Amino acid sequence: MAKPKPKSFDKLKTVAENRRARFDYHIEDTFEAGLALQGTEVKALRAGEATIAESYAEVRDAEVWLINSNIPEYSHGNRLNHEPRRPRKLLLHEREINKMFGAVERKGMTLVPLSIYFNATGRAKVELALAKGKQAHDKRATIKDRDWKRDKARLMREKG
């Protein structure tokens, strides 16, 4: 029997993070997906250059694709350099793809990348989340909770 996957993934070096996603979406479930990359893309990622701020993932023909992520061209790459905003295939198990497809189709959820990182074995991975968009009042409540936690920590520091 297979071991259950750990709740948090072992992130050795985080390259890009989508901090806005946790504010804009209710995160339901997270997945770790591999990235199908070209050589110069890996070198650019190792240099720490990538943005996933306005990117998303979609299920097409039983495959998951990362759309609109920006990995800029490698500075020392020549004519073999990659296209910066090309769709990149995400490597997942079939049952995970089916689960994502069902949630996106039936429940109206979105696939949002949370971070791109290198794991302990040196492979580039994407932390992908099944998320539901927040309404404006939910965002206000999030801001209110965050401010209260900050004030509470400040009061605890001052009082003792």
pLDDT digits (tens, 9 = 90+) for 11-66: 788 999 999 988 889 999 999 999 999 888 888 898 888 999 999 999 999 999 99
- Residue in this structure with the two tokens 């979406």, named with its chain if needed: 25
Q: Domains in the chain, start-ordered, CATH in brackets?
A: 13-134 (2.40.280.10)
Structure tokens at 29: 């479930």
121-126: long-range contacts (C-beta < 8 A, 24 or more apart)?
122/12, 123/34, 124/15, 124/34, 124/35, 124/37, 124/42, 124/45, 125/9, 125/32, 125/33, 125/34, 125/35, 126/32, 126/33, 126/34, 126/35, 126/66, 126/90
Structure tokens at 92: 């997942």
User: pLDDT tier at 10 (50, 70, 90 boundaries)?
Assistant: confident
Rounded Cα distance between 17 and 47, Å, is 15
Rounded Cα distance between 71 and 160, Å, is 47
pTM, two decimals, is 0.81
pLDDT on residue 6: 58
